[in-house]
Amino acid sequence: MTTTADGSRQASQHNPLDDARSQLAEAAQILGFEPGLIDMLAVPRREVTVSIPLRRDDGTIEVLTGHRVQHNLSRGPAKGGLRFSPDVDLDEVRALAMWMTWKCALLDVPYGGAKGGITIDPRLYSRAELERVTRRYTSEIMPLIGPAKDIPAPDIGTDEEVMAWMMDTFSVAAGHTVLGVVTGKPASLGGSAGRPSATSRGVVHVSLAALRHVGLDPAACTAAVQGFGKVGRGAARFLAEAGVRVLAVSDQYGGVAHEDGLDVAALEAHVDETGSVVGFAGGHPVDGEDILTADVDLLVPAAVEGVLHAGNAGLVRARVVVEGANGPTTQEADAVLAERGVTVVPDILANAGGVVVSYFEWVQANQAYWWSQEEVEERLAQRMTSAWTDVMNEAAERGVTLRTAATCLAVRRVAEAHRLRGLYP
């Protein structure tokens, strides 16, 4: 398997849907599910692929491709992010939608799982072009989305402004403002306090718990963070605030490290000024892929899926891996890490803070009553801690890894909703 500078996957070499289905199959076998139920859980409930004609700023026309997949609706309306990435394909979106189903069930959020994506490199388009892409995509999937049907949120390559464009496009068609159609919006348009940092905070809550679980004092620990976007950047900041020394970070352009720990606040200022961690004066340059095998206690892969694979899992030196990204560890890497005694906190638990506070935002929008930052963060911490305890207990009871335990818990909850609702003729 080959990787890019930041360790990202090559779609031709790794299909995340294979990993998602393998995880489901393992959990279903442990739970003793019948084949028909497994088949229902393995296949998306609904999916759509749309063409997105775009008039570029120079007047030329380009046609892009977008997807929206609703994996499961048994526990409530679908929920899942929208990503803009050149690597987006339908199987990736299917896998991410399935993981969202398990994530929502694991955190006991009353949603099913969905995901959306457009095959586009947002760095190559102006903001005006991205707005036109977003609005056309929204209009194409409009029959599928809504506060009681499917609620998109930001993901890789998208942000709160993209969510504002989606909300506005949907609202114009509806003839009135519909704040609950998306989450991750700007605060001035019904966004929740604490939503931008929620995924990062959730990652750090379980990172600190996992370090303590393996007998380490977080204040004496070191960490490396692969990916310095919405999740990795906040995770590095909150880890540093908790006393963890962040020795190395990377983004899509390269990496930077310092043996005594990076000044994360200064690094953030550098990234704001230059757009990359590369060239930061407070550290020395390292290859982006080397971040994954850094000599640290904690590794947080927070970029894209498939970065830990059979080719590098044996070189990982961290005691604990906390998956800030969705699906960063392949099935083969999982087996290698488990054999070596590395504790892996799975994505459906580790990065669930975003969907938890998205749920809070949706609740607030439906009530037209907003909570304080303190209330949001307190409720987020409670949800993450409760889910961590549930997964730990399940893992101990069954004698399985944290990933298998988390998947078993989530799949069982979704399957129970399936059974209680029955099968429509």
Instruction: List, by residue number, the catalytic residues.
Output: 115
> CA nearest 197: which of 5, 3, 373?
373
Taking the C-alpha atoms of residue 88 and residue 60, their distance in angstroms, rounded to an integer, is 23
Q: Measured between alpha carbons, how far is 203 from 324 in angstroms, rounded to an integer?
A: 6
Helix (H) or strand (E) holding 205: helix 198-213
> 59 to each of 54, 56, 119, 129, 402, how far by Cα in Å?
9, 5, 20, 11, 52
Strands (E) across 234-323 are located at: 245-251, 254-257, 284-286, 298-301, 320-322
Of 265, 356, 248, nearest to 302 (Cα)?
248
**Which residues are 417's β-sheet partners?**
none
The secondary element (H helix, E strand) that includes residue 319 is none
345: which strand partners? 322
Q: Which two tokens stand for residue 353?
A: 């803070």
Tell which residue, 329, 400, 310, has the closest CA to residue 411.
Answer: 400
Report which of 256, 253, 250, 249 is spatially closest to residue 280, judged by C-alpha positions.
256
